[in-house]
C-alpha cells in the first residue's frame, strides 16, 4: 500500500511541475499592433513580464523577454497560459525629441488561446 501511495505522489508531482505557466514558447499566442493614437509604430520593442497584472515600471531590465514588432507595427508572442504585462517602446518622428513613445497593457491568456491586443503608446 505504501508503494502505491509513493507512486501516486510521484506521478502527481511530475504532472504538477510539467505544466508550464507564464513563459514564452507555448501553444497560446498574444498578437497585435503597436499604435501611437492612430499611427502605427513599426520596429518597436515589446518587453514581456511574466506573472504580472500591473505595470512593473519603465526599467526594462526587470522584464523577462522581448520581441520586436515588424515595420507594420505587428508583434506576436507564443506563450503558455498565465498573466503577462507587455510594455512597448518605439520611435515616432512626429513627436518632439527624443521621439520616444511607450506604453503597456496587462494580458491574461488561457491554454491554446489567441489574444489580439493593441498596445497603445504615448510620449
Angstrom CA distances, 19 to 14, 29, 32, stand at: 9, 17, 26
pLDDT per residue as tens digits for the range 12-27: 444 444 455 677 889 9
pLDDT of 25: 87
Average pLDDT, the chain: 88
Are 50 and 63 in contact by the 8 Å Cβ rule? The answer is: no
> Using CA atoms, how far apart are residues 98 and 47, in angstroms rounded to an integer?
20
- Catalogue all structural domains in the chain, each as residue range(s) with its CATH number: 22-120 (2.60.40.1120)
> Using CA atoms, how far apart are residues 63 and 118, in angstroms rounded to an integer?
19
pLDDT exceeds 90 at position 108: yes
Closest CA to 88 of 109, 52, 50, 58: 58
pLDDT per residue as tens digits for the range 15-65: 444 455 677 889 999 999 999 999 999 999 999 999 999 999 999 999 999
Count, residues in the chain:
123
State the cell numbers at 116: 489580439
Are 103 and 87 in contact by the 8 Å Cβ rule? The answer is: yes
Amino acid at each position: 500500500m505504501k508503494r502505491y501511495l509513493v507512486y501516486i505522489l510521484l506521478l502527481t508531482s511530475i504532472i504538477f511541475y510539467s505544466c508550464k505557466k507564464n513563459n514564452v514558447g507555448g501553444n497560446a499566442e498574444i498578437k497585435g499592433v503597436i499604435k501611437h493614437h492612430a499611427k502605427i509604430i513599426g520596429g518597436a520593442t515589446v518587453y514581456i513580464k511574466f506573472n504580472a497584472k500591473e505595470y512593473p515600471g519603465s526599467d526594462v531590465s526587470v522584464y523577462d523577454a522581448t520581441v520586436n514588432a515588424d515595420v507594420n507595427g505587428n508583434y506576436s508572442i507564443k506563450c503558455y497560459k498565465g498573466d503577462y504585462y507587455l510594455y512597448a517602446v518605439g520611435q515616432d518622428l512626429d513627436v518632439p525629441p527624443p521621439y520616444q513613445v511607450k506604453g503597456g497593457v496587462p494580458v491574461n491568456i488561457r491554454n491554446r488561446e489567441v489574444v489580439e491586443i493593441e498596445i497603445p503608446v504615448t510620449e
